[in-house]
């Protein structure tokens, strides 16, 4: 039976750490504020927005929504992002993606000021994941993986980590962050040969493929810690991860569940980034 690495204790600890920082900002007359920019009414965007608002409210972080119709032109989105950049009362911004097909997403992402890029979507933020220092923040999901591993004191130095999935949102940045922690990282993808053998070799496994329950018993062995980043719906419409929980749980040492695992930590990491951005704005105002 695996130990369940649930997100709640991590979320609670982050909330405790943020409380005095948010109070200090309040004493300086600053309410940390997160802009949420959304185009259209995609159910997963709406669901994430509800979760983010609830979490923000519970922490004392303000949310400033910018909602555009799904068919709004590129210029309208860019105007909203310009407004976010220019408004000193906004410290962080979440731009929901994927954006509608007629939008040039790369161009839109690059418009966001890196100091407000609390989810690591600009090239400047991503560059800072690959180098030490720099502006911006790592993508929240990648940072959430490290937050959870550290919370549960999972050793990383010298350990073999297999990351399945190489997107810029999860796989690539988390690999770089693990490398910086002196893990030996194997970054896998859809062309990786003998994926099950590679994953079974690892001490820590991060599954981020977006393939419902693809990681069955053959991928695992005793002694492993498994993080399931996937948020998928199976054919019956049930929420599930990339890991086949029922098959993996009797084998591995520790495993994150879906739901109640990493997803909830991701939201808190975005809030923590927003507070850090607000502190940075207080220390060095944009216009000053």
Annotated binding site for NADP(+): 165-167, 231
Nearest approach in angstroms of CB 139 to ligand NDP is: 8
Nearest approach in angstroms of CB 229 to ligand NDP is: 4
Considering only 266, 268, 270, 274, the residue that binds ligand NDP (CB under 6 A) is 266
Contact 285, 30 (CB under 8 A): no
CA distance 155 to 270: 24
Task: State yes or no: residue 232 binds ligand NDP (CB under 6 A).
Answer: yes
Number of residues that bind ligand NDP (CB under 6 A): 26
Task: State yes or no: residue 175 binds ligand NDP (CB under 6 A).
Answer: no
Task: State yes or no: residue 202 binds ligand NDP (CB under 6 A).
Answer: no
Contact 252, 219 (CB under 8 A): no
Task: State yes or no: residue 263 binds ligand NDP (CB under 6 A).
Answer: yes
In the bound state with ligand NDP, the residue whose beta carbon lies nearer, of 119 and 279, is: 119
Nearest approach in angstroms of CB 209 to ligand NDP is: 4
Task: State yes or no: residue 148 binds ligand NDP (CB under 6 A).
Answer: no
Nearest approach in angstroms of CB 227 to ligand NDP is: 9
In the bound state with ligand NDP, the residue whose beta carbon lies nearer, of 167 and 276, is: 167
Contact 108, 81 (CB under 8 A): yes
Task: State yes or no: residue 129 binds ligand NDP (CB under 6 A).
Answer: no
CA distance 28 to 285: 13
- 72-77: long-range contacts (C-beta < 8 A, 24 or more apart)? 72/39, 73/102, 74/102, 74/103, 74/104, 74/107, 74/108, 77/37, 77/39, 77/103, 77/108
CA distance 109 to 116: 11
Q: What is the residue-wise DSSP string for 115-165?
A: GG-TT--SHHHHHHHHSSS-SS---HHHHHHHHHHHHTT---TT-EEEEE-
The H or E element containing residue 275 is helix 262-283
Summarize the annotated binding site as residue ranges: 165-167, 231
Nearest approach in angstroms of CB 156 to ligand NDP is: 19
Task: State yes or no: residue 278 binds ligand NDP (CB under 6 A).
Answer: no
**Is the backbone of residue 29 left (phi > 0), alpha (psi -120 to 50) or beta?**
left
Binding mask 80-119 for ligand NDP (x = CB under 6 A): ----------------------------------------
Task: State yes or no: residue 231 binds ligand NDP (CB under 6 A).
Answer: yes
CA distance 92 to 34: 5
Using alpha carbons, select from 136, 149, 75, 74 the residue that is nearest to residue 104: 74
Considering only 178, 205, 208, 248, the residue that binds ligand NDP (CB under 6 A) is 208
Q: Is 82 helix (H, G, I), strand (E, B) or coil?
A: helix
Which region, judged by CB under 6 A, interacts with ligand NDP, from 64-72, 80-88, 167-175, 243-251?
A: 167-175
Rule CB under 6 A: which residues touch ligand NDP? 141, 164-167, 169-171, 188-192, 195, 208-211, 214, 229-232, 262-263, 266
């Amino acid at each position: 039976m695996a130990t369940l690495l649930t997100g709640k204790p991590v979320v609670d600890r982050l909330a405790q750490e943020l409380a005095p920082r948010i109070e200090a900002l309040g004493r300086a007359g600053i309410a940390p504020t997160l802009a949420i920019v959304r185009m259209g009414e995609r159910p997963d965007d709406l669901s994430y927005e509800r979760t983010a608002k609830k979490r923000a409210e519970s922490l004392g972080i303000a949310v400033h929504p910018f909602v555009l119709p799904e068919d709004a032109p590129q210029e309208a989105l860019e105007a909203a992002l310009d407004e976010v950049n220019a408004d000193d009362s906004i410290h962080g911004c979440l731009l929901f993606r994927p954006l509608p097909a007629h939008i040039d997403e790369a161009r839109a992402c690059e418009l966001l000021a890196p100091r407000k890029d609390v989810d690591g979507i600009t090239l400047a933020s991503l560059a800072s994941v690959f180098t030490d220092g720099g502006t911006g923040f790592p993508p929240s999901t990648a940072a959430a993986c490290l937050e959870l591993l550290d919370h549960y004191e999972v050793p990383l130095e010298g350990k073999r980590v297999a990351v399945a999935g190489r997107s810029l949102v999860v796989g690539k940045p988390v690999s770089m962050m693990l490398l910086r922690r002196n893990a030996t990282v194997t970054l896998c993808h859809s062309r990786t040969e003998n994926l099950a053998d590679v994953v079974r070799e690892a001490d820590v496994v991060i599954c981020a493929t977006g393939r419902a329950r693809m990681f069955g018993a053959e991928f695992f062995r005793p002694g492993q810690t498994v993080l399931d980043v996937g948020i998928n719906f199976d054919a019956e419409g049930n929420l599930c991860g990339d890991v086949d929980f029922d098959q993996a749980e009797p084998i591995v040492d520790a495993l994150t569940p879906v739901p109640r695992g990493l997803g909830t930590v991701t939201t808190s990491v975005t809030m923590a980034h927003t507070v850090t951005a607000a502190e940075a704005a207080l220390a060095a105002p944009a216009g000053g």
